[in-house]
Amino acid sequence: MEADLTGFNIDAPRWDQSTFLGRVKHFFNITDPRTVLVPERELDWAKVMVEKGRVGAVPPGTPVEQLLYAKKLYDSAFHPDTGEKMNVIGRMSFQVPGGMIITGFMLQFYR
């Protein structure tokens, strides 16, 4: 079963950003800590898929779920303005576990 990608905009938000629930879903999607462990080659694949999606050159037979996953990886690992891959510490997907580590060390070595 092939998905119809006519009218699919990869840069359009997946959830309605005018509602609180839509913004929360978007935030949790971007900051998913599991994407920190994704290999570099998969991040490069996601960038290629997003760039192809922007120009409308998505390979035939590509499911929408795969494009949305590529967009999730792209948003969590690449800088929104420059499009460059960020180091692991600067990624959105590292903010939650990184913040927990920093807070844990601050509490541990308080005195």
Q: Are 50 and 70 in contact (CB under 8 A)?
A: yes
Cα distance between residue 63 and residue 43, in whole Å? 18
56: closest CA among 67, 66, 65, 45? 67
Give the distance from CA 59 to its chain's centroid.
20
Per-residue tens of pLDDT for the chain, all 111 residues:
455 566 677 878 889 999 999 999 988 888 888 888 889 999 999 999 988 888 888 888 888 889 999 999 998 888 888 888 888 888 888 888 888 888 999 999 887
**What is the predicted pLDDT for the residue at 1?**
44
**What is the predicted pLDDT for the residue at 48?**
92
Q: Which two tokens stand for residue 14?
A: 């997946």
Cα distance between residue 15 and residue 75, in whole Å? 15
Q: Are 30 and 80 in contact (CB under 8 A)?
A: no
Domain ranges of the chain: 20-108
Cα distance between residue 97 and residue 101, in whole Å? 6
